[in-house]
Amino acid sequence: MEALHVGLAGFGTVGTGVAKILLEEAAWLERRSGRQVRLKRIADLDLERDRGVRLDEVQTSARVEDILEDPEIRVMIELIGGIEPAKSFVLEAIAAGKHVVTANKALLASHGTELFQAAEAKGVQIGFEASVAGGIPIVRSLREGLAADQIHSIAGIINGTANYILSTMTEQGLEFPECLQQAQEKGYAEADPSLDIEGQDTAHKLAILIGLAYGVQVKPDAIFTEGIQRITGMDIRYARDLGYRIKLLALSKIQDGEFEARVHPTMISQSHLLASVGQAFNAVYAAGRSTGPVMFYGKGAGMMPTGSAVVSDLVSLARMMDQGKANDLPSLGFYGKFPQDARLRPMEELVSKYYMRFPVVDRPGVLSKISGILGEHGISIHSVIQKGRQEAGPVHIIMLTHEARERDVQHALEVIDLLEVALDKCLFIRIEDSVDPSHIEPA
Amino acid sequence: MEALHVGLAGFGTVGTGVAKILLEEAAWLERRSGRQVRLKRIADLDLERDRGVRLDEVQTSARVEDILEDPEIRVMIELIGGIEPAKSFVLEAIAAGKHVVTANKALLASHGTELFQAAEAKGVQIGFEASVAGGIPIVRSLREGLAADQIHSIAGIINGTANYILSTMTEQGLEFPECLQQAQEKGYAEADPSLDIEGQDTAHKLAILIGLAYGVQVKPDAIFTEGIQRITGMDIRYARDLGYRIKLLALSKIQDGEFEARVHPTMISQSHLLASVGQAFNAVYAAGRSTGPVMFYGKGAGMMPTGSAVVSDLVSLARMMDQGKANDLPSLGFYGKFPQDARLRPMEELVSKYYMRFPVVDRPGVLSKISGILGEHGISIHSVIQKGRQEAGPVHIIMLTHEARERDVQHALEVIDLLEVALDKCLFIRIEDSVDPSHIEPA
């Protein structure tokens, strides 16, 4: 049986994992693929560094063109990351009739439609199991396993860095900066962690999940995105006292043909299965009309989990290699007209419960003033916590609201933040309890 | 595009779900499949009962032969259940060149190799996503999503009836018979629940999971299987006090080429993600060499979740319908020689920790007698609980052991059960804490 020859562009962490698996698990992969999967070429600018992989039988060079121009190579693995030059290389590989396997969520979220259309026109596949939630096979599960069902909501913990930080704040009672530093020391956060902690990475992945679940296209910058930088240990503790956990969630719903998509710190019930997803782990919770709720849990990043997801796409391609037309399967698993941009419901129209923390001067009448303003904006208060004053510094008034409209909340907080007694802006966190957690066994 | 015509044999609960989805979600399915999926025929002995599905365009009859003999039908959906006549119909469908989609775990566990070989010889597919864990796409996840990885352990809650009973005992503090009755009233248990509570159904599904994960064949009756009937509310409470939950687990490991497979009530740490899987939900936890731990959670049974899994196989077949050779993919996702029966490590060689409850006469020296016998068999005790005597009846001595060998435990208990002070046989439960739960966020 003819071998499947592949070329690897980008020999970083995940690339090293891919090379290790291809070179060290060759017999296993042949049993899974029905043929050899042969790593023929690696292209990277840094070929000096020792990655602990024996490359005797691999041709290495600094030029991705060496992969693109090799007619024997049927698949280019793109692990360069970022938009350019990755995008150009992917388009060139497709033009050369090569399949592409990529973990590049930024590229797919921003230019997926263009790339998928190019691939379909050329009759090649783009494999991207590794682009969302690393080792969790969520792409295939949405495209194939749940293909008969109509998914109507998604809630995902899909950024390991943010989850590690929030999880460590919860478990160790530390503040955000210390936990970020810890994450960096352990290799869970990059030197510049902004894409992770500010939520954009999560929004990229959510855009891909939305494409797979609903067959629509959403631009990642159309997704409301808020990071976790402002969350304090105090909020974590209040959340716990109130029966909640704080997680950076990717949320999406479809209701009456309207789409909702947002990324922000979210309070979820402690008894929800997602609340148990600790450390750098990822999980995607989805609910379908027929299937009901499902959850997928695992490692969302790292050399070997993500490397294994990349190789799973190679196995699929190897299995299908002789099937002329088998490559017609559309990338997102939806046939027909290519999806146009879906209109997202504006964030101001969101209806949610809210946790609010007001750092204020300890003075009579403040509570009444704040609750008065909320009332004027039609926001009804569910409960209030005001603990005794600290030695120094502000007093914090905590409020949980009933369901309120985001627009009203924003307007009310603009007024409250300008009060003379307000020592800092209100910190508010949306509460998500629309997903019924009754089936989770209480601890 | 030519439609995919299917015939449904067996119009029970799941069959009704399949018919509902095919008839009511036709437009969605066409978008997912690239062609119409048309339910042409239904065969069932009872066609009088109103199932709330409009069958105007479906031809119904009492004869499965009407499906088998219809050349336009490309797929037979087998939802008859049991071994015969289901097996003969499946073989006839394959011989007639039809694909088969089935939820029949008993059939696949016992005769899977024969059926898979017949299908591969004929170039047709057997879809069985619905046979394990209902709405959870675990079959595809093992066969495709995790295909690049070597799974080395599986722990599954894959019987909703047993989990509902244990979960209800835990949450409501009730005894086994009341919870079984509750399960029957809610439709979670059948009138004859023995296959579920005695563990055979779990063993059937475990045999299928083992085939998918390791590419080996294990006969279900070679799997050590113990049910949940003897668990009492007292054991549930002690487990909780000790930081554990009791679950009916399907367990399998591969170590140094040796396979282990067993089904029994198991104590797992309260902080393990599987411990949170309540009610009738299912979950499969697996660990792979590269991927690390993954977990899949969802509804394991029911009309719509299982129906949706059946239809997902139809979607896959519809997508591949024009691909001549695409049907070469082996059923379990392993190429090469068809697996022979794997030798399972005998249960006596298991090394585990144990919970033991001894119902004894309240008399001086009993504790010393029991611990002496355990010691003589090389079983070392980790901790002992003996609470004050009840008004009447036996005293219960609870012991947790360090790691011990099953053979030694069996021998020691044979001796202890014969003691004059033993009022009933020792109830013991194996403890599973080899799966590292450190990544689960503590409650």
Query: Is A32's CB within 8 Å of B441's CB?
Result: no
Query: Is A144's CB within 8 Å of B171's CB?
Result: no
Among A144, A149, A296, whose Cβ lies nearest the Cβ of B296? A296
How many CB atoms neighbour CB A255 within 10 A?
10
- How far does chain B reach from its first CA to its final CA, in angstroms? 53
Query: Is B443's CB within 8 Å of A270's CB?
Result: yes
Residue-level pLDDT at A394: 86
How many CB atoms neighbour CB A393 within 10 A?
10
Residue of A nearest to B316 (CA): A144
Residue-level pLDDT at A22: 98
Chain B residues with beta carbon closer than 8 angstroms to that of A281? 439
- Does B255 have pLDDT greater than 90? no
Task: Say if strands A258-269 and A37-43 run parallel, antiparallel, or are unpaired.
Answer: unpaired
Name the nearest CA neighbour of A7 among A56, A68, A85, A49. A68
Chain A residues with beta carbon closer than 8 angstroms to that of B136? 294
Distance between CA atoms of residues A317 and B192, nearest Å: 46
How many CB atoms neighbour CB A375 within 10 A?
12
Distance between CA atoms of residues B14 and B8, nearest Å: 11
CA atoms within 13 A on the CB side of B362: 11
Q: What is the pLDDT along chain A (443 residues), one digit of tens a residue?
A: 899 999 999 999 999 999 999 999 999 999 999 999 999 999 999 999 999 999 999 999 999 999 999 999 999 999 999 999 999 999 999 999 999 999 999 999 999 999 999 999 999 999 999 999 999 999 999 999 999 999 999 999 999 999 999 999 999 999 999 999 999 999 999 889 999 999 999 999 999 999 999 999 999 999 999 999 999 999 999 999 999 999 999 999 998 888 999 999 999 999 899 999 999 999 999 999 999 999 999 999 999 999 999 999 999 999 988 765 555 688 999 998 766 778 899 999 999 999 999 999 988 899 999 999 999 999 999 999 987 766 677 899 999 999 999 999 999 999 999 999 999 999 999 999 865 443 444 43
A330: part of which helix (H) or strand (E)?
none
Among A30, A145, A292, whose Cβ lies nearest the Cβ of B299? A292
The length of chain B in residues reads 443
Query: Look-up: residue for tokens 């005769």?
Result: B111
Residue-level pLDDT at A441: 47
Residue of A nearest to B331 (CA): A32
Residue-level pLDDT at A19: 98
Chain A residues with beta carbon closer than 8 angstroms to that of B278? 439-442
Asked if domains B140-299 and B347-431 share a fold, the reply is: no
Shortest alpha-carbon distance between residue B89 and chain A (Å): 25
Shortest alpha-carbon distance between residue B389 and chain A (Å): 29
Query: Is B291's CB within 8 Å of A311's CB?
Result: no
CA dihedral of residues A169, A172, A177, A179 (deg, nearest 10): -80
Q: What is the pTM of this model?
A: 0.95
Q: How far is CA A9 from CA A17, A60, A61, A122, in A?
A: 13, 10, 10, 21
Output the six-digit token pair for A224.
Answer: 């409301």
Chain B residues with beta carbon closer than 8 angstroms to that of A296? 294-297
Query: Is B215's CB within 8 Å of A334's CB?
Result: no
The predicted complex's ipTM stands at 0.94
Q: What are phi and psi of A141, to 5 degrees?
A: -65, -40
Contacts of B365 (CB under 8 A, 6+ apart): none
Chain A residues with beta carbon closer than 8 angstroms to that of B129? 145
Query: Is A141's CB within 8 Å of B145's CB?
Result: yes
- Does B296 have pLDDT greater than 80? yes
Query: Is A32's CB within 8 Å of B333's CB?
Result: yes
Shortest alpha-carbon distance between residue B393 and chain A (Å): 31
Among B171, B281, B326, whose Cβ lies nearest the Cβ of A326? B326
Residue of B20, B36, B248, B294 to mutate, interface with A, max A Cβ within 10 Å = B294
> How many angstroms from the chain centroid is the CA of residue B131?
9
Distance between CA atoms of residues A300 and A282, nearest Å: 5
Among B135, B146, B441, whose Cβ lies nearest the Cβ of A278? B441
Shortest alpha-carbon distance between residue A442 and chain B (Å): 7
Chain A residues with beta carbon closer than 8 angstroms to that of B288? 135, 308
Query: Is B141's CB within 8 Å of A146's CB?
Result: no
Q: What are phi and psi of A349, to 5 degrees?
A: -90, -5
- pLDDT, one tens digit per residue, over B90-125 is 999 999 999 999 999 999 999 999 999 999 999 999
- Does B437 have pLDDT greater than 60? no
A205 has catalytic annotation: yes
3-state secondary structure chain B: CCCEEEEEECCCHHHHHHHHHHHHCHHHHHHHHCCCEEEEEEECCCCCCCCCCCCCCCEEECCCHHHHCCCCEEEEEECCCCCCCHHHHHHHHHHCCCEEEECCHHHHHHHHHHHHHHHHHHCCCEECHHHCCCCCCHHHHHHHHCCCCCEEEEEEECCHHHHHHHHHHHHHCCCHHHHHHHHHHCCCCCCCCHHHHCCHHHHHHHHHHHHHHHCCECCHHHCEECCCCCCCHHHHHHHHHCCEEEEEEEEEEEECCEEEEEEEEEEEECCCHHHHECCCEEEEEEEECCCEEEEEEEECCCHHHHHHHHHHHHHHHHHHCCCHHHHHCCCCCCCCCCCCECCECCHHHCEEEEEEEEEECCCCCHHHHHHHHHHHCCCCEEEEEECCCCCCCCEEEEEEECCEEHHHHHHHHHHHHCCCCECCCCEEEEECCCCCCCCECCC
Total CB pairs under 8 A between chain A and B: 240
CA dihedral of residues B80, B83, B88, B89 (deg, nearest 10): 10
Query: Is A441's CB within 8 Å of B150's CB?
Result: no
Query: Is B335's CB within 8 Å of A297's CB?
Result: no
Chain B residues with beta carbon closer than 8 angstroms to that of A317? none
Mean pLDDT, rounded, for B175-194: 94
Shortest alpha-carbon distance between residue A157 and chain B (Å): 14
Chain A residues with beta carbon closer than 8 angstroms to that of B328? 34
Shortest alpha-carbon distance between residue A240 and chain B (Å): 9
Amino acid code (one letter) for A218: V
Residue-level pLDDT at A390: 64
Distance between CA atoms of residues A352 and A433, nearest Å: 9
Buried b (16+ CB within 10 A) or exposed e, A398-430: bbbbeebbbebbebbbeebeeeebbeeebbbbb
Among B31, B290, B297, whose Cβ lies nearest the Cβ of A295? B297
Where along chain B do its domains lie? 4-134+303-328, 140-299, 347-431
CA dihedral of residues B319, B325, B328, B333 (deg, nearest 10): -50
Q: What does the radius of gyration of chain A's CA atoms come to, in whole angstroms?
A: 24
From the candidates B20, B87, B98, B205, which is the catalytic residue? B205
Assigned fold of A138-299: Dihydrodipicolinate Reductase; domain 2 (3.30.360)
- Does B439 have pLDDT greater than 80? no
Shortest alpha-carbon distance between residue B317 and chain A (Å): 11
Residue-level pLDDT at A439: 42
> For the domain bounded by A347-431, which CATH number is listed?
3.30.70.260
Contacts of A22 (CB under 8 A, 6+ apart): A6, A29, A37, A38, A39, A311, A314
Is the link from the previous residue into A265 a cis peptide, with omega within 30 of 0? no
Looking at domain A4-134+303-328, does it have CATH number 1.25.40.420?
Answer: no
Query: Is B288's CB within 8 Å of A296's CB?
Result: no
- Does B435 have pLDDT greater than 60? no
Eight-class DSSP state of A436: -
Residue-level pLDDT at B176: 97
**Mean pLDDT across chain B, nearest whole number?**
93
Residue B389's pLDDT band (boundaries 50, 70, 90)?
Answer: low
Strand ranges (E), A136-235: 151-157, 224-225
- Does B391 have pLDDT greater than 80? no
Query: Is A25's CB within 8 Å of B140's CB?
Result: no
Among B129, B139, B336, whose Cβ lies nearest the Cβ of A31? B336
> For the domain bounded by B140-299, which CATH number is listed?
3.30.360.10
Name the nearest CA neighbour of B250 among B193, B198, B206, B295. B206
From the candidates A20, A98, A205, A253, which is the catalytic residue? A205
Output the six-digit token pair for A227.
Answer: 């990071």
Query: Look-up: residue for tokens 């959340």?
Result: A239
Chain B residues with beta carbon closer than 8 angstroms to that of A305? 290-292
Among A32, A290, A298, whose Cβ lies nearest the Cβ of B147? A32
Chain B residues with beta carbon closer than 8 angstroms to that of A21? 148, 290
Query: Is B145's CB within 8 Å of A312's CB?
Result: yes
Shortest alpha-carbon distance between residue B232 and chain A (Å): 18
